[in-house]
Amino acid sequence: MILKTLTEPLILKTIAGDDTVEITNMDTDSRNILPGGLFVCVPGFHVDGHEYVNHAVQNGAVALVTQHKLSSLPEGVTQVVVPDTRRVLPILANAFYANPSEHLRLIGVTGTNGKTTTTHMIEQILNDAQQKTGVIGTLYMKIGEYMETTANTTPDIVQLQRYFDTMVSHNGQYAVLEVSSHGLDMGRVRGCNFQTVVFTNLSHDHLDFHHDMDAYRNTKELLFSQLGNGPQDMLKKAVLNADDAASIYYAKRTSAQVVTYGIVQEADVRAQNIRHTSGGCQFTVKSPWGESPIKMKVHGTHNVYNALAAMTTCLLEGVTWSEVKASLAQFSGVRGRFQEIDTGRNFQVVVDYAHNPDGLRATLQSAREITNGKIICVIGCRGERDRLKRPIMAGIAATYSDHVLFTTDNPFSEDPEQIISEMLGGLSSFPNCNWEVVPNRKEAIQRAVEMAGHDDRIMITGRGHETRYVTGKQIDIFSDEEIVHRSLKMSEEVGMITLE
């Protein structure tokens, strides 16, 4: 694409150099620039893209988009100066990839918890209904057999538009996107033509970024207000959780038609008679599309909410009740979300991504509903994140568990012992609870495996699907699931030695 064509929609711009150069790629990361590239210099929280211009040029950038005029640029490099590079970025990315979300029915899911599971439920239901659907979120970008790993829950604007373009090239009909509060605040979904947006819940998390719950709530409002205000926009849908007070706030801030789901409050799509078993959960749904029993393999009331959000979205898209029921009955969950590990023992082990207070409470309550023995919880809080939730999460772990092993979870640059100390500050109301500190996470998991007895359930929380473990500048690669299997094998070998 010619640079002049790419920048034509920009109202305020100053171009120095040849605006007829051919642009073959664009990015905000100088490491990703290839020959013929357009490098957009975006100021960030930790680094400023303007500082990486030379690296981008060395990699082949033929044009730059900057917020101020740069001197001493090599001959042949064109500079486009704009007031705000972050604001023009979605315009450029959409133009470069020919507005790919216009060729997809785009569904966005936002909320503190449940985004990953809900998007995967929607993806499976639509695919099972023969509507080719891709998903983008915490785990990956995937459509059909094609998959790429993702760095962020909601990718940056350029990457996101490239993913949409890839889905279009794979004949995708739908795209289901996890929309994080960070992504909304940073404008990553500007220019995305959502048809339906879904709200799961709002609870304590990310206050290191948003500072207070009002700011956190208001940021998520952007997804609903950005649905638009024209006649066609009023045909779009907002799917809201009737049991979360924030839904009233969001309903007032969207022109889209609102459809609610829930369990406690009156809702358009409502679950009743919920029953939890070792094999999953069952419930009855009443809705404008009729009443029907639902049976699922996944556990927990939180997954009933996820299923209600997914089924409401898909029913709105014309999927039939029978198709929804059949698909949810086969849904086996998502890696790292209440993921049960086959141990071959008389106790159970679950790995779960729960990393905020409500997520932890939900997963431990779900475990209690289906566990006859003790709940043994392995928990840590990651560094460089919301410190206020650390003592709260420790208190929740002590409330819903019979024994707690406090350990580390990606300390990053923080002192692991200080993180654990802040967590333990939440135990003042639990003088008699059984807990211990095992700073090394691998050893904590091994300790849990060694102490588990008949019908007990080990709940390993925080990391879920993650494999990177960062302490300072050191990066260790392992998953909690991997350490469970290693610990099981070690306990078998110790048992064999003892028998001999």
- What pLDDT, on a 0 to 100 scale, did the predictor assign at position 44? 78
Amino acid letter for position 422: E
Pair of tokens at residue 180: 């994080």
Average pLDDT over residues 438-444: 96
This prediction's pTM: 0.90
Q: What integer pLDDT is reported at residue 368 of this predicted model?
A: 94
Q: With a cut of 60, say whether residue 101 has pLDDT above it.
A: yes
The span from the CA of 334 to the CA of 44, in Å, is: 32
pLDDT at position 463 over 90: yes
Q: What is the pLDDT of residues 296-350, one digit of tens each?
A: 999 999 999 999 999 999 999 999 999 999 999 999 999 999 999 988 899 999 9
At residue 29 the predicted structure's pLDDT band, cuts being 50, 70 and 90, is very high
Tell which wins on pLDDT, 114 or 122.
122
**What integer pLDDT is reported at residue 185 of this predicted model?**
77
DSSP character for 2?
B
Q: Domains in the chain, ordered, with CATH?
A: 3-96 (3.40.1390.10), 100-330 (3.40.1190.10), 339-499 (3.90.190.20)
Q: What per-residue confidence (pLDDT) applies to 500? A: 32
Pairing of strands 403-406, 375-379: parallel
Please give the backbone phi and psi of residue 446, each rounded to the nearest 5 degrees, phi first: -65, -40
Q: Provide φ and ψ at 54, rounded to 5°.
A: -60, -40
Q: What is the pLDDT of residues 30-42, one digit of tens each?
A: 999 999 999 999 9
Give 71: exposed, middle or buried? Use CB within 10 Å, 0-12, 13-18, 19+: exposed
| CA distance linking residue 161 with residue 165, whole number of Å | 6
Summarize the confidence of residues 134-147 as an average pLDDT: 95
Q: Name the residue with higher pLDDT: 330 or 496.
A: 330
Tens of pLDDT, residue by residue over 185-224, are: 778 888 899 999 999 988 755 445 545 667 666 676 777 7
Q: Is 22 exposed, middle or buried (0-12, 13-18, 19+ CB in 10 A)?
A: exposed
Distance from C-alpha of 56 to C-alpha of 5, rounded to nearest angstrom:
22
User: pLDDT tens for residues 366-384?
Assistant: 999 999 999 999 999 999 8
Kindly tell me if the per-residue pLDDT of 231 is higher than 80: no
